[in-house]
Structure formats: structure tokens, C-alpha cells
Amino acid sequence: MRDVMPKWADVVLIPLISLVLAFLLSAVVIIAIGEDPVAAVKMMVTGALGSTYAWGYTLYYATNFIFTGLAVAVAFHAKLFNIGGEGQATLGGLGVALVCLALPWPHWTLALPAAVIGAALFGAAWAAIPAWLQAKRGSHIVITTIMFNFIGAAVLNYLLVNVMRPVGSMDPATAKFPNGTHLPTLHDLLAPFGIAFSRAAPANISFLIAVAACILVYLLIWRTRLGYEIRAQGHSEPAAIYAGIRPVRIVMAAMLISGALAGLMAVNNVMGEAERLVLNSVEGAGFIGIAVALMGRSHPFGVFLAAILFGFLYQGGAELALWTDIPRELIVVIQALVILFTGALDNMVRMPLERLFLGLRKGRA
Amino acid sequence: MDFATILQVLDSTVRLATPLLLACLAGLFSERAGIFDIGLEGKMLFAAFFSAATAAVTGSVWLGLLAGIVSSMVLAGIHGLASITFRGNQLISGVAINFLAAGLTVVIAQDWFSQGGRTPSLLGGARFNPITLPFAETLQPVPILGPVYHDLISGHTIPVYFAFAMVPFTWWLLFRTRFGLRLRAVGDSPEALDTAGVSVVATRYAAVAICGVLCGIAGAYLATALQAGFVKDMTAGRGYIALAALIFAKWRPWYALSATLLFGLLQAVALRYQNIDLGGIVVPVQVMDALPYILTVVILAGFVGRAIPPRAGGEPYVKER
């Protein structure tokens, strides 16, 4: 059954058909609430891609989704479903805030590496307990990571309300980070090259870190021994054990890397945009990572493309909500349909396609 | 803390435990049949919206309940299609269903009522109203037992009594009937059931359908009894707490009752007191919020009584050729 279809069909055709199905159903939803889907798409394209300001927001959201998408993808390679990106990114934000508020940072070039380490460490730490419980005690990682999302939210709520809130402030948020932690935006980065980019958009240098993370994850999964072991474990645990691979070590490694990647998202949204830590700063990006990883077939390049697509949907959806009666939640519906078709109903698309390719092959022979 | 306060807290425990109990039993049917369901939250939310919307338009809470059950069963059908017919990943399907409900309810609510993703407030016959059990007033002067009967046992809405009655019924259905035996068998070893000539697919669909009905009632209770109308994301993680309770209960009906009552008590206490002072040590409200999840992780870790899920849980069944 495995080689019924050529590889390009598996990698490109199936996600594409699933995406078209998801978009068609979304169009039906738009028509059902009495709006014009064509006009809606036009408005989304203008609002998300029509100017450097729009691109700045699209890339800002995409940066978040690259990190959370990579996080889910790395865990998928070890056949682990890390649904806890939300909590790990929340804790990553705590790491970033602690780093940024600890010292009067003189310049962002010093603050950024420290914040990256803080975010990755805290994100990984939040994935460590579910990973250990899965590896050693066999507790189902999906359930424990869901639980840790809620525990993480409660921890942050407690810290922001009772500990980290500046004296005299009613807002459950930390103080503003010192000026030395201000990350350069794409405007600052592109200006020396004579490229005019919107000053107001939040896209910042974290986007480059996200791209670097894509490349590093690619190298890790397909060019290192650990990556090979992770994939071997994902394909067949008994075979991996027979080959001398220790499952406990692989589960821990995959989940720690996954948690660190999810935590890194905080460099973008906490340090790069808000410049202070607020309640619910992740805003569901951890869950969007699931859709992004599924669409991108757990490959870093696929994750990158899918993250840009979701960045477009997110920014376009915000524009729709601003100018029409279509609420922002339409994007949640599209996201749900993408997860449903590319993840759960994969066989619905795959089975007829396999039959088609089988027929073609027989016809040729 | 005096007796009247304790009664009030326990009374609100019962109200808050009811949706958890219904959703927990719903998950119990599904997972005992080998279908993991993290879409309890989404099904409840969907049912909450459609029951409130129908009740608001028709003025009848019973039509609302029906709409809630039907809408929840539609989502259950999608879950069944994805995880039984197309043998997809049940966890991913559950995640998708949760998002589908979170998005669609607000989009449709905005389109129908234009009130920022909520339904109009429900009044009178559009809500489940408390019913007074016989002799509640007469017996009230009796010390201790009188107030307990009057305040705690009497004066709830119909879904509350239904939920508590479902516990022994679920036990009887699962452990004393042929259907229950088959349902449990399909979750532990579907190949045995297949060998015996019973349809694995049909049994699993039946379990998923029951799950849909119970989630529907849970959602309708939230929007038409506990509160008066639908608001965005009104389930607020209850589906996940029910999931936690299910693990806490080790997939057994009577344990499910005690687990959901415990988690309901935690919610009731967190609702009434912000921070609790235990003789010098102040327990912040966030600890009460997180306690169900922490307890579940501890149980899952297997340090205190190991929770072992149904053996074939989460695995699609492929007939041998």
C-alpha cells in the first residue's frame, strides 16, 4: 500500500486537496452568514499582503506559528503529540520577562541571546515533566500536556497578579521592559538597505530567528544521529529498541526540543511586540501550531509555508472583522477545518487518490 | 464557617458538578469503546449555543434541549466518521472539533443575534427552573436533615437529577447488559468482538452517539439552567476538567461521580472565596483553579493508584485479511 502513490502526491497533492476542501467549506460558512466570499478573500489579500504594514503583521503572526509549528512537528517525528505548545509558550514568556527585567540591559544584541536562552529553557522545562511521565511512567502525553496548559495558565496568573505586578498597578502584567531590550523591527533592519518597510508593524528580528530555527530543525531531523534516532523511534519503537536506541532518551530529547521551540515564540510576542508580559499573551498560537505542523507534513519547509499561510489568515481575518460583519472567529473555523481535513480525515482524501493512482499504474502496465 | 455556609457551598458544588458529571459519563461511554474523545469541550459548547438559541427563539427549553442534543450529535458524527470510518487520528479529530465549535458558535451567534457572539438572555419557560421536591417546605424545620433536604437535595433543575440518575444507569448498562459487555469489549479487544460476529463499527458508533447525547444535555444545562443564555467560550475548560475527572475515575461510573463532585467542590470554593487562609498559610485562588489538573497528573503518574485506560483506546480497528 505504501508505494501506491508517487511521493509528490503524498507531499503536495494531499495537503493541497485538504486545504481546498477546508476553504470551500469556509466559503460555504461565509455565504451562509450572508456575506460575499470573493469580496472577503479580496479584502483579506489587501489587508494581509497589500502593503508593507500588512506584511509586517502577517510575518509577525507567521513568526509565532513557525515556532509553535516546529514544536509540534519535532514531537510528531517521535510519534508524540505535544498539545502543550500553549503552556510551553506561556512559560517561555515568563523566561523572557525574567531575563529582560533582571538586568538594565544596555543593548538588544546582549539581551536577545539571553532572552532566547531564557525562553527555550522555560519552554523546555514545562515540557520536561509530561515528557518524563510519558517516558518513565507511560502516562499519555496528550493528556498531561493538556493539563500542563491549564496549570501553566494558573501559574502565570498567580505570578502576574501577586508577584510580578509593579506596585500601584491594577493591570495583571509585568512592568515595561527596559529600553535596552527593544528588538529591531523589520523597518529598522531593512532601512540600511534602502528598503522602506512600515514603521508601525510589529514584525521584528525574531522572524530571522524563526527562519534559522527551521534550518536547524531540518539539519537536526535529517542530518544528525539524534534526528535519525527520533525518526526511527517514530516509525517503530520495537525496531528502534532492537537497534539499540533508548526510548526514554528519545522521548525526553524530542519533547525538550519541542518545548524549547514553543517557548522561543515568546521572544517574538513578549519581547518583540508587547515589551512586557501580560495575561494570555500566547492567544492560541500554541494550538495553531498543530494545524501548521499537520499542513506542513512536519517538514520545516512545509511548516514555514503553512505558518505564512496562517499568518495571512490571521491578519486577513482581523481586517475582515474590522471592516465587515464577519467576526474574527471565522479564522478559528478555517483553522478547525484545516486540522480536520489534513489531520483527522486524511484517509478520506487519501483512499480515493490511492485508488486513482493504482488505476493509472495498471493502465500503463 | 457555619452550617448554612457549608450548605450553600455544597449546593453550588452540585450545580457546578452536574455539567462535569454529564460530560464525564459521555467521555466514559466513548473511551470505554476505544474512542478517545478530547472533543467533549467542543460538543458541550456547540450544544450550549444551539440550545440557548433555540430556547430564545421558541421560548421552550425542551426544544432548546433537543436542539442541543442534535447539534452535539452532529459533532459526534464527525468524530465517528473521522475516527471509525476513515481510521484517522482520534486526538487530532477531537482538537479540530473543539476549534470548530469555538469558532462556529460565535460566527453563527453574531449572524443570528448581532450581540457580539452571545444569545439574548433567557427568561421563564426558556430556562430550566428549579423544582421543589415533595415535603421540602414541611420538613425544613427538622434540625440538620430538614435544611439539607430543602437546600441541598431539593430545589435543583431537572438536568441535575437526570445527571445523578445517569450514574447508576451507566453502571447497569455497562456492567449488567449485553450491550455494555460488547461496548467494553470493543474498547479492550475489538478483534474478539469481531470474531464473535458483532460489528465493531456499529458498536463504536453507538458509543460515540451516546457520548453526543450526554454532551448535548451537559451543554444545554450550562446555557439554559446554570446560566441564562449563551456567551462566547462559556464552557471555559469544563470539557477538559471532565476529561481529567474521567482519568481520575479510572473510567468507572461511580468513581466518576466522586471525581466530578470533588472538582465541582473545588470550583465552588474558588468561586466563593478568593484566597483561603489556612491558619497562616494563604492558599491563592489559582491553586484551586489548577488543582483538578495537578491531581490528574499525579494520578496519571501512577504514584497514587494507577489509571489504566481501555487497551484498544485510540486505535482504529482494521479487520485482518
From the list B88, B103, B289, which residue is nearest A336 (CB)? B103
Please give the average per-residue pLDDT across B109-116, as a whole number.
Answer: 87
Predicted local distance difference test score (pLDDT) of residue A172: 86
Q: pLDDT band at residue B307, thresholds of 50, 70 and 90?
A: low
> Which residues, in sequence order, are bridge partners of residue B282?
B277
Count of beta carbons in the 10 Å neighbourhood of residue A178:
15
Predicted local distance difference test score (pLDDT) of residue A2: 52
Interface contact B106-A143, CB threshold 8 A: no
Interface contact B83-A339, CB threshold 8 A: no
Q: Are B33 and B183 a contacting pair, CB within 8 Å? A: yes
The full set of domains in chain A, from first to last, is 53-350 (1.10.3470)
From the list B86, B96, B286, which residue is nearest A348 (CB)? B86
Low-confidence winner among A3-7, B11-15, B287-291 (lowest mean pLDDT) = A3-7
| H or E element that contains B196 | none
Contacts of B87 in chain A (CB under 8 A): 347
Predicted local distance difference test score (pLDDT) of residue A1: 46
Chain A, window 315-344: residues with a beta carbon less than 8 angstroms from a chain B beta carbon: 325-327, 329-337, 339-340, 343-344
Contacts of A335 in chain B (CB under 8 A): 99, 103
Could you please report the per-residue DSSP string of A155-219? HHHHIIIIISSPTT--SSBPPPPPGGGPPPBHHHHHGGGT----SS---BTHHHHHHHHHHHHHH
Nearest Cα neighbor of A221 from A10, A8, A78, A66 is A78
ipTM above 0.85, yes or no: yes
Angle at alpha carbon of residue A118, lines to A117 and A122, rounded to 5°: 115
- B144 φ/ψ sector (left φ>0, alpha ψ -120 to 50, else beta): left
Interface contact B293-A326, CB threshold 8 A: no
Alpha helices, H only, chain B: 3-32, 40-58, 61-80, 90-113, 136-139, 145-147, 158-176, 178-188, 190-195, 200-221, 238-248, 253-272, 285-301
Contacts of B111 in chain A (CB under 8 A): 32-34, 325
| H or E element that contains A127 | helix A108-132
> Which residues, in sequence order, are bridge partners of residue B277?
B282
Distance from B302 to chain A by nearest Cα, in Å? 7
Predicted local distance difference test score (pLDDT) of residue B207: 96
Distance from A14 to chain B by nearest Cα, in Å? 14
What pLDDT, in 10s, does the model give residues B21-62?
999 999 999 999 999 998 999 999 999 999 999 999 998 999
Task: Spell out, as residue ranges, where chain A has pLDDT lower than 70.
Answer: 1-3, 365
Contacts of A287 in chain B (CB under 8 A): 95, 99
Distance from B100 to chain A by nearest Cα, in Å? 5
Cell of B41: 469541550
Chain A, window 116-135: residues with a beta carbon less than 8 angstroms from a chain B beta carbon: 129, 133
Average model confidence (pLDDT) for chain B?
88
Interface contact A146-B240, CB threshold 8 A: yes
The chain A residue lying nearest B79, using CA atoms, is: A344
3-state secondary structure of A278: strand
Contacts of A222 (CB under 8 A, 6+ apart): none
Which whole-number Å values give the CA distances from B217 to B26, B30, B52, B65, B71, in the listed order? 10, 16, 12, 7, 11
DSSP state of B288: H
Predicted local distance difference test score (pLDDT) of residue B174: 94
Distance from B261 to chain A by nearest Cα, in Å? 19
What pLDDT, in 10s, does the model give residues B133-142?
887 778 877 8
Chain A, window 232-261: residues with a beta carbon less than 8 angstroms from a chain B beta carbon: none
Amino acid identity for residue B208 in this structure: V
